[in-house]
Structures are given as structure tokens and as C-alpha cells.
């Protein structure tokens, strides 16, 4: 089973490396940001596999934090770097809620 | 917000407090693992639940926890289909894509139900939420305009309405923009 | 036990397969919107399959629930991120790519 886990971890690393091509090519900043999102999800999977492989349960907590941070990165990017028309930004359409444990309810 | 926070303990607030306390205790159990220190976690969860009630008053729409498994099964099956669909298109040499942006009218009430709908749609086969106009019209980007996008969005709406116990509003036929 | 090992192996490998598909889609698809599709759907299913594969080997209930919690968070995170990127692109006026052979419309 360890051999298989090692293979999966290696494969995930390869997908990470391939994602770099999209950062290289662009063409828009958003395309590069998508590669960052790819790194978030793949990184989480990689950490979970490593936690099992190396018997290090703490890596699961790292994965959890990474999952939360990946979305923060995209949020910061959209809000700060790549925002659209500032007037429209004040418009009525709301972004989905981001809180984890309270997310089931509607902040009126 | 502050005045609302000072309001008395009516039934929705008690229910919301219980719900949030339960979620926080579950979270504590998961995060602290086998060495759960309940003497620390229990008071912490109680205080945090109260604080969250002050920050975010109880919502109009309460999630029905018992209906969650049915939704999870719907969601798991749809994610499998979505992954399969996107894999097929990615690996096909001809790259069979026919993207289009559609505008669909929503029937769900604004707030949490609509947010859940938008998030779920992005994980369904061939659909992606792009924008929401006036909490009413959802702009959906679809990978293939030949798919029945409106139908699958409507089915998801029904699923989410069930999750919130709202299905009465959905008995009538489709009046979609 | 042997059967469980096989199921676990199949889940992990197909999870890896969907991660590869997501990356290939990110490289092959023609515009931002279609790339968001490829990334969110394929990677989330990939992570889900890997999580279910690891669930088989989980040694306690809290560990199993933590794996599911991580998947749920990642789902919400990447659906939100995909929506935000697509919305920002739309607001910036990035035109969606259209298929060239457009017969019936």
C-alpha cells in the first residue's frame, strides 16, 4: 500500500508541475490565479496522502489550513488586484458566504 | 445589529443557539481528535455560539439537518457525473465544447438558499455560476449549450428548497425567465 | 481485507486520474470560464475520491470526519473561488470563447 501512496503523491506533484505551464502562459491574470487554485486543491490532496504515508496526523491539520488559505488568496486577488468597475462593485449582488461552521444560516 | 443582539430568548434564537452549539461541539471533537479536552472545549463552544448569535442573528431559513443525507447523495452523484463529463471533454481530441452564457430566473428566496444554489451549480456537470443580478437572475456559463442546463438548475433548486423545507413554493410549474 | 485494499487503491488512483484531467483541462481549454469548469469539477472529484480512499484506512471516527470536513471546505472554497474569478472576468468584459462551427442556434 505504501508503494501505491508514494505513486499517488508523485503523480500529484507532476500535476502541480504541469500547472506551472498555465502560470507561464497566462494570458490573463485570472488564468494565473486559477493555477494558484489548482495548487490549493492539489496541495490539500498531497498533504492528506503524505499524512497517511508518513504516519504524521498533523499534516491533516496543515491540509485543513491550506484549504482555508487557498480561498483567501483568491478572495484577496479578486477584491484587490482584479476588481472590475468600482461603481458596480458597490452593486447589490452578494458573494457567497465563506464562513465554515456558520455557513448554514443566512446573515440577514 | 446590537439591539437585535440584546433581544430576548425567543424560540428561533434558542433553536439557532442549539444548532450552532452542536456544530461547534462536533467541530471541536473532529479537530481535537482522540485527546478531546472537553473541560476546555465545552465552555469555549458555549461562549462562541453565544458570540456568533450576537454577530449573526438567526436566519429566516433554517437548514433541516435530517434532510442533509438525501442532498449529499444527490450532490455526490452529480459531482461524479460532472467530473466524468469534464474528463470526457478534456481528453477528447476534438475538444467538444459549445460554451454559452445563459440567464436563468431563480425561484429560491435570496440569502443562504440562493448562495448554496450558486455554489452547488458550479460543481454540477457543465454549469458555472458567473453573476447574480438583483438576487433574481443568475448568469450561468455552460460548457455545452446542448445540455439541459435550465432543467438541471431547476432540479438543484428543488433539492435545496427541500433542504430548507421550502418545497411548497415549488409545487407550481416552471416560470423561468 | 484484500478486497478493501483493492477498493482503496482504485479510489486513490482514480482520484489522481481526475487531478491529471483537471490540469490537462487547465492547459487545453480555450478561455478562463471553461478552465474554471475543468479545474473546479475535476479537482474536486479527484480530492473526493482520494478522501474516500483514505477513509478506508482511517483509524478513528474523528479522523474520518476530519477528512470529510477538509473535503467539504475544499468544495466550498473552490466553488467560491471559481465563481469569484468568473464574475471578475465577466465584469472586466472578458468575452467567453465560442465554438467556431456553430450550426444550430
Which whole number is the average pLDDT over C40-53? 92
Cis check: omega of the bond before A102, within 30 degrees of 0: no
Domain shared by B45 and B72, yes or no:
no
Domain shared by B38 and B76, yes or no:
no
- Give residue A81's pLDDT: 62
Which parts of chain B sit beneath pLDDT 70?
A: 1-9, 34-36, 167-177
Among B73, B102, B99, B104, which Cα is nearest to B86's? B99
Domains of chain A by residue range: 2-84
Assigned domain for C37 exists: yes
Assigned domain for C28 exists: yes
Interface test with B, best of A18, A59, A102, A103 (most B CBs within 10 A): A102
Domain shared by B94 and B124, yes or no:
yes
Q: At B37, phi and psi to the nearest 5?
A: -95, 90
Q: Which residue range(s) make up the domain with B106?
A: 65-170
Which whole number is the average pLDDT over C50-73? 88
Compute how many other C-beta atoms are within 10 angstroms of the C-beta atom of residue A82.
18
B132, closest residue in chain A (CA to CA): A93
Assigned domain for B32 exists: yes
Number of structural domains chain B divides into: 2
Q: What are the chain C neighbours of B94 within 8 Å (beta carbons)?
A: none
Domain shared by B161 and B128, yes or no:
yes
| Helix intervals (H) in chain A | 2-25, 29-53, 58-76, 86-89
> Which of B55, B75, B93 lies at the terminal end of a domain, its last residue?
B55
| CB contact residues (below 8 A), chain A span 5-64, against chain B | 57, 61
What is d(CA A57, CA A55) in angstroms, rounded to the nearest whole number? 6
- Give residue A29's pLDDT: 77
Q: Which residue range(s) make up the domain with C75?
A: 19-91
Q: Dump pLDDT digits (tens) for A47-98.
A: 999 998 888 888 988 999 988 887 777 777 767 666 544 434 333 344 443 3
Among C9, C36, A20, A44, which Cα is nearest to B101's? C36
Number of structural domains chain C divides into: 1
Assigned domain for C41 exists: yes
Domain shared by B82 and B142, yes or no:
yes
Amino acid at each position: 500500500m505504501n508503494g501505491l501512496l508514494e505513486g499517488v503523491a508523485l503523480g500529484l506533484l507532476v500535476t502541480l508541475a504541469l500547472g506551472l505551464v498555465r502560470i507561464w502562459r497566462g494570458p490573463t491574470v485570472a488564468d494565473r490565479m486559477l493555477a494558484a487554485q489548482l495548487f490549493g486543491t492539489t496541495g490539500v490532496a498531497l498533504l492528506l496522502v503524505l499524512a497517511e504515508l508518513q504516519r504524521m496526523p498533523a499534516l491533516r491539520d496543515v491540509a485543513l489550513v491550506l484549504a482555508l488559505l487557498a480561498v483567501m488568496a483568491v478572495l484577496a486577488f479578486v477584491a484587490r488586484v482584479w476588481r472590475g468597475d468600482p461603481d458596480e462593485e458597490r452593486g447589490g449582488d452578494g458573494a457567497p458566504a465563506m464562513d465554515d461552521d456558520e455557513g448554514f444560516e443566512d446573515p440577514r | 445589529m446590537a439591539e437585535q443582539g440584546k433581544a430576548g430568548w425567543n424560540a428561533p434564537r434558542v433553536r439557532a443557539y442549539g444548532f450552532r452549539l452542536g456544530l461547534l461541539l462536533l467541530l471541536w471533537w473532529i479537530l481535537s481528535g482522540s485527546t478531546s479536552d472537553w473541560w476546555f472545549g465545552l465552555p469555549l463552544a458555549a461562549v462562541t455560539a453565544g458570540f456568533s448569535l450576537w454577530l449573526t442573528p438567526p436566519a429566516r431559513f433554517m437548514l433541516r439537518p435530517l434532510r442533509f443525507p438525501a442532498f449529499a447523495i444527490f450532490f455526490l452523484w452529480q459531482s461524479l457525473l460532472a467530473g466524468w463529463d469534464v474528463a470526457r471533454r478534456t481528453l477528447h481530441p476534438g475538444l467538444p465544447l459549445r460554451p454559452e452564457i445563459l440567464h436563468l430566473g431563480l425561484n429560491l428566496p435570496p440569502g443562504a438558499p440562493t448562495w448554496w444554489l450558486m455554489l452547488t451549480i458550479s460543481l454540477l456537470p457543465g454549469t458555472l455560476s458567473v453573476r447574480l443580478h438583483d438576487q433574481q437572475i443568475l448568469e450561468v456559463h455552460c460548457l455545452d449549450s446542448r445540455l439541459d442546463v435550465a432543467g438541471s438548475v431547476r432540479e438543484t433548486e428543488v433539492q435545496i428548497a427541500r433542504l430548507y423545507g421550502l418545497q411548497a413554493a415549488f409545487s407550481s410549474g416552471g416560470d423561468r425567465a | 481485507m484484500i478486497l478493501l485494499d483493492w477498493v482503496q487503491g482504485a479510489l486513490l488512483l482514480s482520484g489522481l486520474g481526475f487531478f491529471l484531467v483537471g490540469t490537462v483541462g487547465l492547459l487545453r481549454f480555450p478561455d478562463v470560464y471553461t478552465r474554471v469548469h475543468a479545474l473546479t469539477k475535476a479537482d474536486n472529484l479527484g480530492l473526493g475520491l482520494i478522501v474516500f480512499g483514505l477513509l478506508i484506512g482511517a483509524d478513528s471516527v474523528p479522523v474520518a470526519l476530519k477528512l470529510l470536513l477538509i473535503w467539504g471546505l475544499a468544495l466550498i472554497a473552490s466553488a467560491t473561488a471559481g465563481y469569484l474569478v468568473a464574475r471578475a472576468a465577466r465584469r472586466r468584459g472578458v468575452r467567453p470563447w465560442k465554438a467556431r462551427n456553430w450550426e444550430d442556434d
